Chains A and B, each alone.
Chain A
Amino acid sequence: AQSVTQLGSHVSVSEGALVLLRCNYSSSVPPYLFWYVQYPNQGLQLLLKYTTGATLVKGINGFEAEFKKSETSFHLTKPSAHMSDAAEYFCAVSRGPGGSNTGKLIFGQGTTLQVKP
């Protein structure tokens, strides 16, 4: 079975400050990991993904995340927050290589990012 835990349902940072959104996963098979962003009244947009290879992955809008197998983590970071980053962020896991790749995504609870001027 797979599960995702996002630590902190609400994170508030000042504009220009570091953004750190935490995600821990549980998976009995090697995972694929994803971060999605949801702006108000919109669907989900993929920020970045880890499948295989380099554990530090870079995404859109200056975000990046590092897959740490030993810590079962996939935290999302951005060096300098912008007002336009205010949104809901979801971490998700699916079965990776070697597993029955059904494509199903299991989502975390979501973290609301607030950016203060």
Chain B
Amino acid sequence: SAVISQKPSRDICQRGTSLTIQCQVDSQVTMMFWYRQQPGQSLTLIATANQGSEATYESGFVIDKFPISRPNLTFSTLTVSNMSPEDSSIYLCSARTSGGVSVNEQFFGPGTRLTVL
């Protein structure tokens, strides 16, 4: 399995500013993902964080708004840029292991609860 931590756990931000969320995994993983969970709703995939190359974004999400980095196999960041109240959500990082009994499983971090005023 993989243990995932995120920082910050929560934040309250002013509109127009940006916030960078960090995700750290305790072991090397093949794939990392970023999800958004809007209030009272399910999870929506924002992008796949690719190690050493540009992230792969899902429809409706763009790099200018959600730049993502993944400098190595255990760490990734998501930036929420030029925030508006509509960006108020929980942002979750997840990771997928490469093998073993947990193959094909995705493990999730505790999430970052973002409120934009």
Contact = CB atoms under 8 A, between A and B. Distances in A.
Contacts of A102: 48
A94 interface: yes
A90 interface: yes
A76 to B, nearest CB: 15
B45 A90 contact: no
A42 B45 contact: no
A43 B45 contact: no
Interface string A79-117: 000000000001000100000011111111110000000
Interface residues of A, number: 23
Contact of B45 (A51, A105, A109): A105
Interface in B18-43: 30-31, 33, 41-43
Contact of A42 (B30, B42, B43, B110): B110
Contact of B104 (A44, A49, A90): A49
Interface residues of B, number: 23
B105 interface: yes
Interface string A17-52: 000000000000000101010000111111001010
A93 to B, nearest CB: 12
Interface string A49-60: 101000000000
Nearest to B44: A107
A44 B92 contact: yes
A75 to B, nearest CB: 18
Given A51-B104, A105-B45, A109-B42, 5 more contacts: A44-B94, A51-B103, A103-B33, A104-B33, A108-B42
